[in-house]
């Protein structure tokens, strides 16, 4: 379970989980789950295009992911963001359908790009993944404070001279870069599950941003590690376990928040009286 190719799988999945935790925190805070779904999913079309031209898949993914991010940012200025995201997503997927129909080996390629090929990670992929991942996390760290302000309190950020629009574009582009290298490993659909579930769960356990990011990364790591272990033994796809475990953590967080609300609610006066008596 820890030898040879499996070791690569563990390393790649760990890197991906760290990135997903960090990016996911901001995606959830900003209410941009849809963009977090649309960018990796639409980038898949680029991979199909690159395959058609005989290029490296990473280039196709990067071009389409960044293009999608720019498109969402540009269209989102003139229209509602969810509409802009939906239209960019379908446009990219429509082009993807065209590319896929031209290629001859569509079925396996489609499946592996959507659901990931985590058990076939070669050593030559690990370095680019680690490098791009480090860049993404570093960029987020550099713009951490303005991004946090622009995400949580956009009006105050504008008043303080932080351009919320520029922050949004930066964030979407970093997400696109992070996506383009994680999609071949975990697949477009799972990257999304790994971003949203753990981050949303972390936010119901703690309100402090630093703690929430650390917790999101921790939960994402736990999700992936448990997923790989179970998937290795059952032979079922990793995607299923990641999706279900992430949702499980989210429900756990919701339950915890409900219990806390219940306990911190003001007690009735009679209960207080009997307690002091």
Partner 1 sequence: MGHFFSYIVEPGLLSSGPVLTALLVGTVVAVTSGVVGVLTVIRGQSFAGHSLADVATTGGAGAFLVGLNQFWGFLLAGVAGAAIMELIGVQRRRGRDVATGVVLGAALGSAALFLYLGTQTSSTTGASFTILFGSMFVISPDTVPALIASGVVALAVIAVLSRVLLLTSLSAELAAARGVPVRAVGIAYLVALAVAVSLSAVVIGAVLSTALLIGPAATSLRLAKRPSLAMLASALIGTAATWLGILLAYDSYYWPPHGHGWPVSFFVVALVVVGYLLSYVRRPSRDRRVPVAAQAQEEEGACSPA
Q: Which residues bind partner 1 (CB under 8 A)?
A: 28, 31-34, 36-37, 78-80, 82-83, 85-87, 89-91, 93-95, 97-98, 100-102, 106-108, 110-111, 114-115, 158-161, 163, 165-166, 187, 189-190, 192-193, 196-197, 200, 236-237, 239-244, 246-247, 250-251, 254
Which residue's CB is nearer to partner 1, number 34 or number 126?
Answer: 34
Which residue's CB is nearer to partner 1, number 96 or number 133?
Answer: 96
Cβ proximity of 189 and 117 under 8 Å: no
To the nearest whole angstrom, how small is the minimum distance from the Cβ of residue 246 to partner 1? 6
To the nearest whole angstrom, how small is the minimum distance from the Cβ of residue 181 to partner 1? 20
To the nearest whole angstrom, how small is the minimum distance from the Cβ of residue 275 to partner 1? 32
Which residue's CB is nearer to partner 1, number 111 or number 273?
Answer: 111
Half-sphere exposure of 264 (CA within 13 A, CB side): 6
To the nearest whole angstrom, how small is the minimum distance from the Cβ of residue 170 to partner 1? 14
Which candidate, 117, 120, 116, places its Cα nearest to that of 6?
120
Torsion (CA) 13, 33, 28, 229 in degrees, nearest 10: -20
Alpha helices in 30-122 (DSSP H): 33-53, 57-78, 81-102, 106-115
Cβ proximity of 187 and 15 under 8 Å: no
Q: What is the DSSP letter of 118?
A: G
Which residue's CB is nearer to partner 1, number 95 or number 149?
Answer: 95
Residues in the chain: 277
Which residue's CB is nearer to partner 1, number 7 or number 91?
Answer: 91
To the nearest whole angstrom, how small is the minimum distance from the Cβ of residue 232 to partner 1? 14
Residue-wise DSSP of 218-251: HHHHHHHHHHHHHHHHH---HHHHHHHHHHHHHH
């Amino acid at each position: 379970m820890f030898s040879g190719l499996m070791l690569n799988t563990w390393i790649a999945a760990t890197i991906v989980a760290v990135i997903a935790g960090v990016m996911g925190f901001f995606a959830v805070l900003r209410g941009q789950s849809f963009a977090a779904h649309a960018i990796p999913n639409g980038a898949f079309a680029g991979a199909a295009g690159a395959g058609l031209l005989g290029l490296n898949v990473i280039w196709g993914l990067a071009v389409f992911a960044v293009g999608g991010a720019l498109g969402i940012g540009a269209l989102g200025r003139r229209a509602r963001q969810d509409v802009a995201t939906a239209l960019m997503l379908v446009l990219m997927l429509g082009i993807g359908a065209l590319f896929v129909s031209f290629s001859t080996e569509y079925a396996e390629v489609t499946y592996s790009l959507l659901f990931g090929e985590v058990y076939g990670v070669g050593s030559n992929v690990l370095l680019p993944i680690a490098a791009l991942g480090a860049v993404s996390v570093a960029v987020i760290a550099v713009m951490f404070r303005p991004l946090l302000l622009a995400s949580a309190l956009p009006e105050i950020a504008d008043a303080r001279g932080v351009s919320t629009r520029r922050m949004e574009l930066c964030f979407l582009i970093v997400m696109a870069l992070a996506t383009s290298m994680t999609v071949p490993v975990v697949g477009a659909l799972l990257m999304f599950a790994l971003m949203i579930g753990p981050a949303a769960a972390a936010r119901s356990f703690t309100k402090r941003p630093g703690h929430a990011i650390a917790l999101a990364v921790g939960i994402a790591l736990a999700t992936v590690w448990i997923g790989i272990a179970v998937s290795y033994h059952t032979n079922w796809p990793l995607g299923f376990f990641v999706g279900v475990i992430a949702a499980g953590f989210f429900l756990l967080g919701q339950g915890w928040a409900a219990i806390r609300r219940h306990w911190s609610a003001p007690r009735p006066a009679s209960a207080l009286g009997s307690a002091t008596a």
